[in-house]
């Protein structure tokens, strides 16, 4: 069985700076309502990203997840991703251990370096230390999870000497996934550490990631980890509708606007409908369509990658309304999930 979930960036559309507080409050209440709905219809996971940009409200994502934990009963709640390079691993662990207590054992973490660099200057880190920051902080986070008290010293944080760190989570082994894009070293690192792997595929053809996934599994087995612990989660842009063509037509305008804006920052050209349709085709990354078409595509992706444990939809950055998102969530739980069992 493939677990099914949603990853959100807590997107907000603001008409003016004067209206930002009120509109942000409304958007946050609607997000929490969708998280409750995801729990009600039986989805397995809801992840919250971390960004420090005006169009997203997820900069304090553990706070949002804790609010959802108090309003849900079964769904797993985690980050997607925690930008560990710009965070203190001690504080991150404390936040998610607390989330685990509030949620009665439903907390998870997906840690990574993120696809934006906004957090680095905001918290005083240099991009020259991009790789070293993440390596050191990931190793410290895993030590904190597995040891208490802890003695540790490094380059980017004050040393710890026989320091106890509390609270501790209910789960004996708080799940920590490694979020990756397309960097081979990241796949290999996840395998060597025996961490489950969350692969973000937001463009291109998903089957092309197979050599990297194979590298992950081979590195994990060589390091002595159990095959069943080397899980793979797939994160892609997705949206469900009753009709595939209607779903594509609904999703495209907001997607094109959002990614054209990001493209200007990164030197890409504007998004075209041809590019979008190719990504929504049989081999492309996007999971947009009716439940049966999308289920077939997910199963095809799973086979191409040698088996996946979870798939998560990122669908709230395409300018869709609250009602459209709720309708998609209902289809995910009631029609798509049974097709993945």
pLDDT digits (tens, 9 = 90+) for 36-80: 999 999 999 999 999 999 999 999 999 999 999 999 999 999 999
pLDDT > 70 in the chain, percent:
100
Cα 288 from chain centre: 18
- Residues 41, 63: Cα–Cα separation, whole Å: 23
Mean pLDDT taken over the chain: 96
Burial of residue 227, with CB atoms counted within 10 A of its CB: 0-12 exposed, 13-18 middle, 19 or more buried: exposed
Q: For residue 269, is pLDDT > 90?
A: no
- Residues 95, 109: Cα–Cα separation, whole Å: 10
Question: What are the E-state strand segments in 66-118?
Answer: 76-79, 82-83, 107-112
- Strand-strand pairing, 176-180 and 197-200: parallel
pLDDT digits (tens, 9 = 90+) for 166-223: 999 999 999 999 999 989 999 999 999 999 999 999 889 999 999 999 999 999 999 9
What's the pTM value of the predicted model, to 2 decimals? 0.96
pLDDT > 90 in the chain, percent:
92
> Which residues have a Cβ under 8 Å from the Cβ of 51 and sit 6 or more positions away?
9, 58, 59, 114, 116, 118
> Is 122 in contact with 90 (CB distance < 8 Å)?
no
Q: For residue 110, is pLDDT > 90?
A: yes
CA atoms within 13 A on the CB side of 148: 15
For residue 18, CA distances in Å to 21, 157, 169, 338 come to 7, 39, 41, 45
Closest CA to 58 of 265, 314, 327: 314
> What would the two tokens of residue 302 be?
């799973």
């Amino acid at each position: 069985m493939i677990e099914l979930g949603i990853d959100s960036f807590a997107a907000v559309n603001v008409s003016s700076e004067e209206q930002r507080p009120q509109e942000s409050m409304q958007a946050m209440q609607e997000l929490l309502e969708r998280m409750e709905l995801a729990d009600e219809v039986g989805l397995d996971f809801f992840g919250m990203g971390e960004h420090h940009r005006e169009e997203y409200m997820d900069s304090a994502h553990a706070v949002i997840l804790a609010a959802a934990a108090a309003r849900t009963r079964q769904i797993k709640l985690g980050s997607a991703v925690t930008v560990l390079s710009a965070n203190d691993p001690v504080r991150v662990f404390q936040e998610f251990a607390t989330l685990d207590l509030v949620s009665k054992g439903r907390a998870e973490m997906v840690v990574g370096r993120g696809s934006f660099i906004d957090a680095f200057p905001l918290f005083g880190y240099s991009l020259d230390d991009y790789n070293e920051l993440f390596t050191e902080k990931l190793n410290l986070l895993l030590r904190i999870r597995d040891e208490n008290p802890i003695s540790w010293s490094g380059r980017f944080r004050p040393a710890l000497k026989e320091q106890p760190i509390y609270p501790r989570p209910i789960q004996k082994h708080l799940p920590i996934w490694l979020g990756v894009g397309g960097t081979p070293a990241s796949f290999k690192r996840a395998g060597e550490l025996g961490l489950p792997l969350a692969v973000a595929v937001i463009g291109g053809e998903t089957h092309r990631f197979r050599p990297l996934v194979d590298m992950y599994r081979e590195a994990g087995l060589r390091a002595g980890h159990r095959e069943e612990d080397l899980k793979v989660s797939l994160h892609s842009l997705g949206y469900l509708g009753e009709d595939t063509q209607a779903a594509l037509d609904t999703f495209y305008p907001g997607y094109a606007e959002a990614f054209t804006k990001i493209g200007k920052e990164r030197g890409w050209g504007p998004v075209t409908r041809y590019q979008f349709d190719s990504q929504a085709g049989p081999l492309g990354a996007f999971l947009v369509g009716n439940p049966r078409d999308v289920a077939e595509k997910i199963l095809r992706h799973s086979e191409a990658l040698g088996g996946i444990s979870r798939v998560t939809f990122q669908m709230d950055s395409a300018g869709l309304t609250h009602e459209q998102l709720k309708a998609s969530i209902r289809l995910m739980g009631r029609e798509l999930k049974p097709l993945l069992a």
